[in-house]
Chains A and B, each alone.
Chain A
């Protein structure tokens, strides 16, 4: 296992968040997560497809050329889509599935399965790879749900079935351009917070070093 590639499994939440930091899988969040329900449907299907596909794709022999492997990855993901869809249907209901529309099946071509397996996961141990995958999934689910909740509040004055009256509506948030702007601003805020925490950590460690030197 390569030590320089190994990070913490929790990195997927903020530091390597696939949506806000890497810009992957933005489509389903921007245009699919239009409210709490559709965000929940996308999150459930994404979590199931990604976790089980990565777990299976890792077993595909590395000696096959990438041209063939990527096809196998895509077929595995689209086969797992069938049970994932049925599970999501029973968990979130038909209404949410219909609202999510084409953003559920397009999740089979997500880059955590097609690219990360190749560039990163093959270099990690199996158990650690699964932990990292859970980290990436958690990061995606967090962003998708936050976007869905923001839109539900500002467009429908509710979160799921709970009424949240803001006194005003912003119906444009429901549109694709609204989604682009929300996710863009979230990405900027996430990076700003991350940079701030990195700077303060650096300052703390420098202070510690200075104290040690003076002692």
Chain B
């Protein structure tokens, strides 16, 4: 019989009227890396808080190595059993790395001796191969270093079970690979891990087993080898098929269509050099590249967020000087970070989605509520936004639906040029399909689109993909490329 390191057995958890977990469970074998996948709202986060002892299940039980879990109040006992690298950082930026590592256990009852504490921290970092100065302020670390510090801290508590909750969401390709190498090394030492991610290819790369949750219930647990990609997506969505398939055939034939978005010899120090680009009506142009390739900086220049050192951007032959001029010329865009630039969380869907076209909803600065509402209802329908209605604040929506609102805003004015940056970051499979579908529809209506994405699957809808490396476009591939082709160029190993 398999020895299970962690078991959650028939767990039910309700929050008021909503059931977050319904008789669901997971069993993770000793020493394996076990993936937990499911759409937003499937109950993954609730399971994490129950497995880490932050919440008590209404029914069911948690067992570690066959023994009942500690009492909820005994935080130290929980920390010896399980550690979690949360989506949201639990590092305190104003304190040093050393203090973060030993937070609330800097000393016993007596005074803290800082010298030995720093020494212990340095030893700990060295043992886990984390090249970070223990005296540095945690706020000065990169996302990757911060995660490594969190992992080292988790292990230093003595926990042999770590939960990694979407650790790759904010990392670029090489950093993800380094994280995976580290996870493999930990596994070799016998550490058990639960891995949560929206990127299914990562699940196949790093995990041995996978558990799928859907609508608060356990759907299936299987070795990854026995659950091919399509079956996995089907288990997540409850329907067959799943990987987004482009609806359009070949793109418009050559240069006959009108150029809607053009860049001429753009350069911006430290980001990109000598970029020229023409996007035709009805065409989707993809941009691929690593985090340091400059693709985001370029896209942000196209929409007027940055001013290039040299060169010009034109939308429908109108030069772009800043964001208002770009929008005025008929451009719509989805920014990289929806939380920071995408929406105002406390305002309603209607208000957010029509923010860029407020001037069209009434004269003399008056926004007519009825027209705003009508427009929002149409956009909600078009993008299949799951909501109570246009009055609901965007803050209440799940990640995928919030992103659809951002997409709705980009599309509100029927733009003839569209720039979309990482539209599917942190959203589930179905939302992904709706978002990519919206880009395709816009192109069918005659818009020219630029799609910048870290996910290769997103780029399959593009008529051609430009690969950037160290600030230059190094390769252009037409529809029908293989992953290998693109990745090689992105990593700069392609001649």
A-B interaction? no
Chain B: residues with CB nearer than 8 A to chain A? none
